[in-house]
Amino acid sequence: MAARVAATRQAVEHEKKHGQGNRRHKGKRQAWSIDRQRLAEVQKVIHHRHGGACDTDDGATYLRAAMPHLLRLHGGGDEAHDKILGWAAVWLPTMPQADVAAAVENAFRHDPPPLKADTLAELLNMHRDERTALSLRTIGAVDQTSRERAAERKRKSAEHQAAKRQRAGATPRSQSKVAIAKAQGISLSTLKRRLKQAAAQEAANRPDPISSAIDPKDLQPTTKPGHGTGLSVPGPAREASQRQIVGAVGPTPGARTRAVPAGHAVPLPLPENGFQENGDFFGSDDAWISLGSALDYAGGLMPPEVARAVRLAQRARSMTQDAVARHIGISRPQLANALQGRFGLSRSAAANLCAWLAAA
C-alpha cells in the first residue's frame, strides 16, 4: 500500500508539472466551467494537506465533494464509470475499490447536485487562512460568511483600482472635492463656491507687482468682474413715484407734475414789446409777434401762436427746454408734447406759462 501511495504521488506531481493546467503549456486549453474549477480546487486541497494523494481515511469526504462534478464532466455510462474509478485510484489510493464503486453506483442512481460553497467548507473543514493560501474561489470558509467574503473582494478590488489610478498619475479619490465636501459635511456646490471665494480673496490680497514681473494670473481674475463697494451709494433703493394719467387738458400721460402754484413761475427778464422772429427758421425777415393773444391761453391744447411765442422766448433767453419746463412747473416731455399739440396743459400750468411769457 505504501508503494502504491508513493507511485500515485509521483504521478500527481508529474501531472501537476507537465499537465494541461500548467501555464507554460502551449496547447489549446479547455473552456472554463464551474465543474473543472471545483474539481481542480478539491485536488489542490488534497495535495496541500497530504503532500500528494490522500493517504488517510478522509478519501470518502473528498470523493463526496468531487463526485457531482465528475458526473457532470464525464456524463453516464461505462466510460464515465471507468474515468471516475481512475480519478479515485490516483487521488484516493487508500480508499477501497469496492467503496469507490458503491459510491459511483449510488451517484449514478441519485445524481447528487453540487454542494454550496459554505456547505463544502464545512465538509472539508476549510478555514480562511488555508483558503487564502490556496487561492480558492469556489470553496468557502467556516470562519467567514459569504457576505464577509464579498465585502473583502470589494475592498481588494477598490485597493487594486486605486493603485492602478495612482500609477497612472490620477488624483486619489480621498483627496477629491467630493471626499473633502463629504468630510466637512457640506454639499459639493458649497465647497466649490467657497474655493472660488477663497481664490478671489487671494487674488485681491496679492501685492501689486510694481518692480517684479507681472503674473498672468493677475491679468485674468478667477471671478467675474463686479462693482466694488465704493462705486455704489449706501442706503435704501429709491422708491418709485406715483405717475399721473389725465385727459387732454391735464398733464401728459406718464409725466411727473411739479408742485408749483399758479402765478409763481420765476422766469428770466424778457425784452419789452415782444420778440423778433429769426428768418432762417421761420421764413420771415422782420416779423414781430405781440404777446396779447398768447397771454390769453388758459389751458388745453396749445394754439400755434402760443407755441411759437414759447419757442422764441426760450431762444431769446438762451434757455433749454428742460429749464423752461422747470420754471412752468411741468416735465420736459410734457412741455414738448404740448408744443407739438399732442396733449394740453392744465390751468395751473397754463397760468405759469403766461406769467413766464409776460415777465419783463
- Rounded Cα gap, residues 305 and 324, in angstroms: 17
Mean pLDDT of 152-176: 88
- Rounded Cα gap, residues 182 and 159, in angstroms: 20
pLDDT at residue 191 greater than cutoff 90: yes
State the pLDDT at residue 344: 87
Domains of the chain: 2-22+30-114 (no CATH), 275-358 (1.10.260)
Cβ neighbors of 230 (< 8 A, separation 6 or more) are: none
State the pLDDT at residue 291: 65
Name the E strands within the chain.
275-276, 288-289
State the pLDDT at residue 26: 52
State the pLDDT at residue 49: 92
- Rounded Cα gap, residues 14 and 6, in angstroms: 12
State the pLDDT at residue 288: 42
Mean pLDDT of 30-42: 88
Nearest to 136 by CA among 155, 151, 153: 153
| 264 neighbors 328 (Cβ within 8 angstroms) | no
Q: For the ranges 62-76, 86-100, 215-229, 272-286, which has the lowest average pLDDT?
A: 272-286
Mean pLDDT of 49-65: 90
Of residues 336 and 252, more confidence is placed in 336
Q: For the ranges 40-49, 159-168, 271-280, 311-320, which has the lowest average pLDDT?
A: 271-280
CA distances from 331 to 95, 231, 346 (A): 120, 29, 13
State the pLDDT at residue 210: 55
State the pLDDT at residue 73: 87
Nearest to 220 by CA among 206, 210, 233: 206
| 21 neighbors 2 (Cβ within 8 angstroms) | no
Residues 329-332: contacts with CB under 8 Å, at least 24 apart = 329/257, 329/258, 329/259, 329/260, 329/265, 330/251, 330/255, 330/257, 330/258, 331/251, 331/252, 331/255, 331/256, 331/257, 331/258
Judge residue 261's burial from the number of C-beta atoms within 10 Å of its C-beta, 0-12 exposed, 13-18 middle, 19 or more buried. Answer: exposed
Look up the pTM and report it: 0.45
| 263 neighbors 355 (Cβ within 8 angstroms) | yes
State the pLDDT at residue 280: 41
Mean pLDDT of 283-297: 57
Residues 144-149: contacts with CB under 8 Å, at least 24 apart = 145/118, 146/117, 146/118
CA distances from 263 to 68, 274, 355, 358 (A): 120, 20, 6, 11
